[in-house]
Structure 1
Amino acid sequence: MEDSYRHKGMRRQLVKTVQAQGITDERVLAAIGKIPRHFFFENALVEHAYEDKAFPIGAGQTISQPYTVAFQSQLLQIKPGDKILEIGTGSGYQAIVLLELGAEVYTIEYQKTLYEHTKSFLPKMGYKPNFFYGDGSQGLSRFAPYDKIIVTAGAPTVPNALIDQLKVGGCLVIPVGNQKTQQMMRITKTGESKIKSEVFKDFKFVPLLGDDGWK
């Protein structure tokens, strides 16, 4: 896996593209600028690695658009040491961004083939989040509570299990809507039984699968 001067130049351009769309968190931009996204692509497709678009990775899933990854990461307002649950490991790119931001990452994937591939691949890049296979729509209760939770698939509703697994003061970033388009939401747990909801712009994600997703 080579990370050449050319690749780094393409990344710098990608950072400028994402920044022009309103991403202001310098740490998020630095993570996007550091991670060799082309490692997730076949050699013949390297030109696509630094375009600001999603790309298929198999099993009906995609590696998310860099802007989307940056937008969700910025909404999380991550502090070093934050314990974060990621619902939908996918390619692992978002998990790496979280790690670069200093988070302790627990990531769960519904698709067995993706889980096995990413669990094997990310350590080769030098990244080791805590990997789990299962129904992320139910969260990962055995390691709760979490400072932050991020969902990287479109949900029909906000799963109660995820709010339950947040610390008071923590937040959940999740796209909610139908299978064609979703609104990004940030839900902050302000008390044991109190939440504050914020709604942001529309996005398009692959469907969240599982008992509280699209079955």
Structure 2
Amino acid sequence: MRDRMVKFYAKDDNTITLNATPGHFATSSSHINFYIDVTRLKVRANEAREAARSIKNKMLHHVTTVDTIVCMDGTEVLGAYLAEELEKGHFANNNKHETVYIVSPEVNSINQLLFRENVRPAIEGKNVLLLLATMTTGETVRRSLECIEYYGGNIVGVSSIFGTMTKVGNTEVFPLFTTDDLPGYQTYAPHECPYCKKGIPIEAMVNGFGYSKL
């Protein structure tokens, strides 16, 4: 797959790029025609720092207060740099120590998201930003938001490296890359997938962590 990867540039900042591979791929709830590889923006410090700066700029004038960033899909490095950007100014913080908390939920044996007792104070009563690697149908986002609300968090926004939507319900989404940045990107319900109808096999299962070939 690596030899077919195409580089795409963020329209708002052409110093930030991601790689995508065309083909027939499946997520947990949809089929897509590009595998979006966000690995570099999650694990390389310099690129994560630049991505965090760009996400912060997208949030300006839309979000005023962030106490906690909830990181999904292994986005903790990006979340740490985003917290640093938010603490530089323009965003309020109500935490006692005047710093942004960065946490991730645990997934139990029946695939439920939960926060342990020692982490719950970082959620309960806090203004929470949800950070993900990728968003396609929004199902993972909705499940994550339900978890945050269950533990008493006040959701102020959602951000992602790549996303197909700008709102989930009444919650604003601030994606670094959108479908406008990836010409030709499509997502399909499994029963409507044109690749399946043509008998083209699924190449890999994909999510925000990466891919597994079939």
Fold similarity call, TM over 0.5: no
- The structure in which a higher percent of residues are helix is 1
TM-score, normalization by structure 2? 0.39
Considering only CA atoms, is the larger Rg found in Structure 1 or Structure 2? 2
- Structure showing greater relative contact order (alpha-carbon pairs closer than 8 Å, 6 or more residues apart): 2
TM-score, normalization by structure 1? 0.39
